[in-house]
Each structure stands twice: as C-alpha cells, then as structure tokens.
Amino acid sequence: MVEPVRAIAGRIVPDEVLVTLDGGAGVATEIAQQFGLELRSARVSGLLGQTVARFGIPDGRPVSIVLAQLADEGRLATRTPNHVFELQQAAGLVNYAFERIALDAGAASGENVSVAVIDTAFDPEHPALKDAVAENFDALPDMPVEDRGHGTSISGLIAGRGAFRGVAPGVRLLHARAFEAGVSSADVLLAALDWSVEQGAEIVNMSFVGPENELFDAACANAMARGVVLVAAAGNNGPGAPFGYPAAYDGVIAVTATDAEDRLMEQANRGRYIDLSAPGVDVMAPVPGGMDAVTGTSFAAAVVSGAIANLMHSGKRIEPQALSELLATTAVDLGAPGRDNDFGSGLINARAAMDAR
C-alpha cells in the first residue's frame, strides 16, 4: 500500500529520500530493511527506465546522513533528497497578452496539439474549462483536493473557451494534479511528468520552481529527447535568488514575466538561464468562481505554452532545440541589446515565429 505524501517543510521533505534501482519493489523492500528505512512507494518510471523508490526515515536521521549511508549500496543507481517545489504565483484588465505577443485572438488555436499542465487541481465546472480537459491525472490520490486556483488559471490561460478565450483554445489538454497548498515534491512531479509523456503530450507546462534535482533533471532530459517541449516558470524570488528549476535545466524554455508596457516583473528571478519573456503581470485569467488579474512567471509560462501550441497547429512541429532557437531569433529584444539575464532573448513574438522560414 502506498503511503500518502507526508507534510512538506523547507526545501526538502525532511524525512524522505528518493532512489532509483533496476529491481522492483522487492529489491527496494530489502534495501529499506537493511538500512532501517520505510518503503513508502515504488513505481517504474518510463522516462528514467528504472524503479523510483521513496524511502521514509523513521528514526530522525538527517537526509544527508542517510544518503551517505546509501552511497555504497551497489543496487542503487541514484540517491537524492525528495526536493520541494513551489507554484510561482505572485501576490497581485482586459487580457493584453494577445496583443503583446502578436497573436490574433480570433484566429488563435491549438487544435490537434497535446499540452500537459502539471499544477494544482482545476475547477471542472468553470465555464472556461468545462469539457476542455481531455485526460486528468491525480499524482496525490491520498490527499484531499482543497486547492484549485492556480491550476484553473494556468489551464484556462492555455485552453480557455467561451467568454474567456485562452491563448490556444482547442488544444488536447492533459491536466496532472501534483500540488496542494502550493507545494509538491520531486517524487510526485516525476510521476506527473511520466504520465504526461505517456499520454502523448507535445508540450508540458511546469509553472513551479524548486532546487536542482538529479532525477527530475534526467526525466526532463529524456522527455525532451523524445521530442517533448518543456516550458517552465523562471521564478518569482527576486533578482538575487538562486536559479529556479526545472526552468534552469538545459533545454527547458525558461520564461520570465513582463507587464503591459513590456517592463520586467520586479520580483522575477534573473540569470543566464532565462530564455524568453511573456505577459505575466496583471493578466486576466479564470479563477474558481470567475475571473481575476493574476501575476507571476507561472502565468507567463502558460502564455508561452499556448503560443507554442499555436505554432505547432500552424505546422511548426520541430524538435525542442530547434523550436527554442526559433523563438529566440524571432523574439522582440527588450532591455540591454541582445540576450540578457533579465529578459532572455526578449518578448515572444508568435506572428514572427509563424512567418519564419
């Protein structure tokens, strides 16, 4: 029986480690018993090609000590903390995003493109999303759903219909619930990303930030190697903050947020990993019960995911690296000339990317 995800505090789950191994749950159980650990879950990851086991530490040993004790266990391939990730919504009117990214709202479409959103649960009764989600996955099945806000806004910005038109209406939307109370863990996110790729996602929106994690890095790399485009929020932790992951992984499109006048969101992360800018300050989005202005690199990432879906709908289905280069070369330069640590290559320009030869 899989034990529910435990309460999360700080930058890592304080009493858990993640490992990968070539055996199944039986081998994981043996290792857990040998090292005085609890096997809390074990599943085969399609992206990693191995069993991912989540070990609990019942006796209060620090995570660093347990990882050191496991270092010489030859049956384990990888050992890592179960890092914590956080959704990237800043505290915060007509949606100006279409105009700023040069996308015709009336012609926008993501039809025949599959986009996965890894986020909180969403509001299935919201008019913007009613019947819009093709497949739904719960990576936290033993945790009651209380939070639907962030996921409703992200999926609505991408696929909204009716009175609120998303950036890419008509996409085949895949929604994975992986967050509650604004946080998740590497183990849960791995399960959600595995599911997204297995369901045929061509684009995966990851509007969250956490520390670098070896297993999630490998899973992202393997997803991109299969042709999946990964889009992530750069982070809302300020100019002096460490790099935000998964945005800072090689090949992931890292998106920062700008306002209606193309000014950078003040609390946005900075760094050489920033790829693109997109509207993310006071943009209108669906929220449970209605609409509201939302702010954060989360929402800028959703705008870029929707813009990429439009590109794919128009026939630009190219491998992730080539797509990233296309978006960079057609972006509107902002800030210092050329690529910089604030705006990346600049503001995404959907029309220029569609028209590029």
Residues recognised as catalytic: 119, 150, 298
- DSSP letters along 36-73, please? T-EEEEEEEETTTTEEEEEEE-TT---HHHHHHHHTT-
Burial 95-124 (b: 16+ CB within 10 A, else e): bbbbebbbbeeeebbbeebbbbbbbbbbbe
Closest CA to 249 of 278, 275, 288: 275
Task: Give the bridge partners for 251, in sequence order.
Answer: none
Q: How many CA atoms lie within 13 A of 141 on its CB side?
A: 8
112 CB-side CA count, 13 A: 7
Neighbours of 201 (CB within 10 A): 27
* Residue 195 near residue 139 (C-beta atoms within 8 A): yes
Angle at the Cα of 178 from the Cα atoms of 173 and 182, rounded to 5 degrees: 115
Report which DSSP code applies to 117: E
CA distance 304 to 157: 10
For 152, residues 6+ apart whose C-beta sits below 8 A from its C-beta are 120, 122, 123, 126, 129, 286, 287, 288
